[in-house]
Each structure stands twice: as C-alpha cells, then as structure tokens.
Amino acid sequence: MTKTNDERLLDKKITRRQMMKMTGAGAVGLAIGASGMGGVLKAFGKDILEDQSTVANKVDFYGKHQSGIATAVQTSIYFASLNVLVTSKSQLQDLFQMWTPLAVQMMNGDLIGTASENALIPPKDTGEAKGLDANNLTITFGVGPSLFEKKELGLSHLKPKELQDLPHFPKDQLEETFTGGDICIQACADDPQVAFHAVRNLIRAASGKVSLKWSQAGFNSIPLKNGKKETPRNLFAFKDGTENPITDNEKDMNEVVWVQSGDSKPWMAGGTYLVARRIQMHLETWDRTALREQEATFGRHRGSGAPLGKKGEFEAMDIDRKDANGNPIVPETSHTFLAKKANARLLRRSFSYSSGVMDATGTFDAGLLFISFQKNPKQFIKIQNSLGRLDKMNEYITHRGSALFACFPGIKKGSYIGEALFNTL
Ligand SMILES: C=CC1=C(C)c2cc3[nH]c(cc4nc(cc5[nH]c(cc1n2)c(C)c5CCC(=O)O)C(CCC(=O)O)=C4C)c(C)c3C=C
Ligand SMILES: [Fe+2]
C-alpha cells in the first residue's frame, strides 16, 4: 500500500511508545487535520468516521462490544473465513486499520471511499448496495487459532489458551473446505445483498493481504405477530432460538457471552468466542418422519415451540417431569433434554443455508450455519459432548464444517478493530 505524506511523517516522528500512549488514551485526540472529505478527522492517515445516528435501520459500529452479537438477529448472513497473506504484525495491524473506516461507512448505509467519476479506473465500491439503506448491517471480526501459529506474525505469546481448535466430536464428518481460518468476518443484515456487499468490499480492499478460505450465506425468516418479531423456524420447521440468554440483560450477557477482564488475555476483555458449525440437515429423511417422532427429537411441539406437554413457547422446560407411568415427558435422547443436561449456556445466533445439491447423494445441501457466542469455548464443548452420540437429531444431521474465532471487544471512536491485540507487546 502506498503511504501518504502524513503517514510517512508519522512513521518517522512518532515512536512506538508514544503511539501506544496516544491510541490508548483515545485516538480522537490524535486527529492531525481535516481530510479533503470535509470535517473527517484522521489518525495515522486513516479517516475517523462517525456512526450516523439519523440513518434508517442502522446499528452502531462503535461501542463496548462488537455489533452482530447482542444485536437482534437479522434475516441474512454472509460469513467468511479468511487466511492471511501478510507476513508481519504491522501489516496485519494496517489491515485492520484500513478495514475500520470501511466497516463504519457500510454500517452507515454508505458506499465505501469517495465517489469518483474517473472512467479510467474501477470504482472504489463494487456498487451493488447503492440505493439500499443500512438494513441493520453488522460486521463482526474475529481471529482463529491458526493466526497465532504463524511465526512471522510474532503473535504466539498473545494467543489465549482457550483459543484451540475444537476437539473432534462423535459423528463429525468435517471437510477441510468448511473448516478453520485465520480471520472471520460475519456480516449480517436484513438484506442478503447488503451482507454480501460488505464482505466482498472488505476482501477486495484487502487484495493480496488475505485469501478467502470458505464462506457461507444464510437466511432467517422472522414472522411478525402484531408488529412483534417471533422466533424464526429452522429447515426442520421448529422454532429455533427460544431458549437463549436475554441480550439486553447485562448480567446474563456478562455471565454467558462477554469475556471479563482477568478471564483471559487482557486484549479479549469485552470480546467473546464465536463457534461456527456448518451442519447439513437431511431434509429428505426428516420429511419422511412422523410428527410425533419429530417432536420427540427436539422435546418440543412443532407448532407452538412449547416444551412437550406444555402450551406456551416460553414456558419452562422441566426435564425431570414424568408421565403417569413414570416415563420422562421430554425424552432423554431429545436434543433439548441433552442440551439442558449439560448445564452450560451459550448465545445461539444461527442461520439456515441452502447451497445446491450434494454430489454424492443428489440430496439438498441445506442445513444450519450454527453460530454461538460464549465467553469460553468450553461452554460449547460441554453441550456438544452432552449431545454426543445420544442426540436423536443425529439421525437427521451431519456436521460438515467447524471453526472457532476470538472476537475482539468493541471499538472506541478513533480506535480500530483489534487495537488491544496490536497494542499489547
Ligand atoms: C452444541 C450446541 C448446539 C448445536 C450444535 C445445536 C444444533 C442444532 N440445534 C437445532 C435445533 C434446535 N436447538 C434447540 C435448542 C438448543 N440447542 C442448543 C445447542 C445446540 N444446538 C441449546 C443449548 C439449546 C437450548 C436447550 C435448552 O436449554 O432448552 C431447539 C429448541 C428451541 C430453542 O430453544 O431454540 C431447536 C429446535 C438444530 C436444527 C441444530 C443443527 C442442525
Ligand atoms: Fe440446538
């Protein structure tokens, strides 16, 4: 990347120590002048852009935590797992600094860069989101275990001990083409093109610095009842996401999702761990299954989403309830029985996918892009181990992809994505 005069000057005159002091204190105070864009301040040659509070359907980029985690689930996701091609920590830092204003612009519903009428060069923005509003776009960034294993990046001492490849689980049939990655970008929005546009433009702007390892688009259809959003249904037609932490309850979120200071490496405080599992759902087999069997698989009623034997979706599920003959009302091999029995919690934020046909079988390649956020990956591991070989749902699903990423804490205005990681020696 060619550097501007300002950047060259800064490279020379500001020592690393001074730079860390200033960014730590909030880099807004560091602004070195207005750019040609009129009133847009710069730090280290990068534009400091604001969240535009007047924009329709807009989620804030800046905050204590990254967006796309506690944010109400949107209807579309484009999830990308990337490998890095850069060969030094400072190049990686440059990459996240470069991505920061682009993410702010796109979450404001704007195109990236400044519009140019120069017909001799490709436009800065790929353009397909023009005319669409922000559509509650959220962009969430995380880093995978493999990033810290790249010697040339010198990050190994900063790797949290929790950030290890997930263990092999019974019945896993993972494919390398849907597994792992150095960086993840989760773009969610209420429009598929807005979500795709975000990832496409971030990758394009990072040409030569990252390569796309795998990606998955997904969808959720969210019914509205009297103007209120209801729980979306998965491709097995069951309400999915009923039993989840309350995202606007800080205590719940601190207990389940947000890494607290002292829990892990200091740079992770306020962040979280993202588990992604690409789980194929065998729709053809499911569709041949009797309703009673389907309900026994989940331990819930298909229509209402209520626990078996109850009426309301949000009624408590008591897994110890027995019928008159002393048999458990919620089957002991049902998905919810086993998930509950694990006695661990996580925030599920999954999306359905449909990606054509499985070559070998001629069946749908469709399923769930399961995404969960938890303050420690062991919460996921505990639940997945409890589901293990017993989960009745195993007859109808196959885990085909898996990845774990450490998601940075939120970004302060004037700072950039992942700053805490790069400012730790
Ligand atoms: C290891 C974690 C989990 C995986 C993987 C998983 C896959 C998966 N789940 C469904 C559908 C449903 N899951 C439901 C509940 C539920 N699932 C998990 C965990 C995993 N699911 C938990 C922790 C829970 C909550 C359990 C509880 O305490 O009650 C439900 C019921 C409704 C709900 O609460 O959302 C459904 C339906 C699919 C289809 C799937 C993989 C394809
Ligand atoms: Fe589940």
| Number of helices (H), then strands (E), in the chain | 11, 13
Ligand 1: nearest atom to the Cα of 372? 2
Ligand 1: nearest atom to the Cα of 380? 1
Dist CA 409 CA 412 (whole Å): 10
Average pLDDT of the residues of the chain: 91
* Minimum mean pLDDT range among 42-46, 107-111, 115-119, 328-332: 42-46
Ligand 1: nearest atom to the Cα of 340? 28
Higher model confidence: residue 296 or residue 48? 296
Question: Which of 335, 346, 402 for a ligand 1 pocket mutation test, highest count of atoms within 8 Å of Cβ?
Answer: 335
Is the pLDDT assigned to residue 159 strictly greater than 60? yes
Ligand 1: nearest atom to the Cα of 342? 23
Question: Which of 274, 286, 300, 370 for a ligand 1 pocket mutation test, highest count of atoms within 8 Å of Cβ?
Answer: 370
Q: DSSP letter at 213?
A: E
Ligand 1: nearest atom to the Cα of 397? 42
Query: 45 near 3, Cβ under 8 Å?
Result: yes
Q: Any residues with Cβ below 6 Å from ligand 1, and which?
A: 234, 236, 238-243, 277, 279, 281, 298, 300, 317, 335-336, 339-340, 367-368, 370, 380, 383-384, 387, 397
Of the pLDDT bands very low, low, confident and very high (cuts 50, 70, 90), residue 367 is: very high
For 209, the 3-state DSSP assignment is coil
What's the one-letter identity of residue 56? Answer: A
| Half-sphere exposure for 291 (CA within 13 Å, toward CB) | 4
- Residue nearest to ligand 1 atom 15, measured at CA: 336
* Minimum mean pLDDT range among 23-32, 69-78, 122-131, 303-312: 23-32
How much distance in Å is there from the Cα of 233 to the middle of ligand 1? 12
- Residue nearest to ligand 1 atom 6, measured at CA: 370
Average pLDDT over residues 228-247: 97
- Residue nearest to ligand 1 atom 31, measured at CA: 240
What pLDDT, on the 0 to 100 scale, is given for residue 31? 39
What pLDDT, on the 0 to 100 scale, is given for residue 116? 82
Q: Are strands 397-407 and 138-143 parallel, antiparallel or unpaired?
A: antiparallel
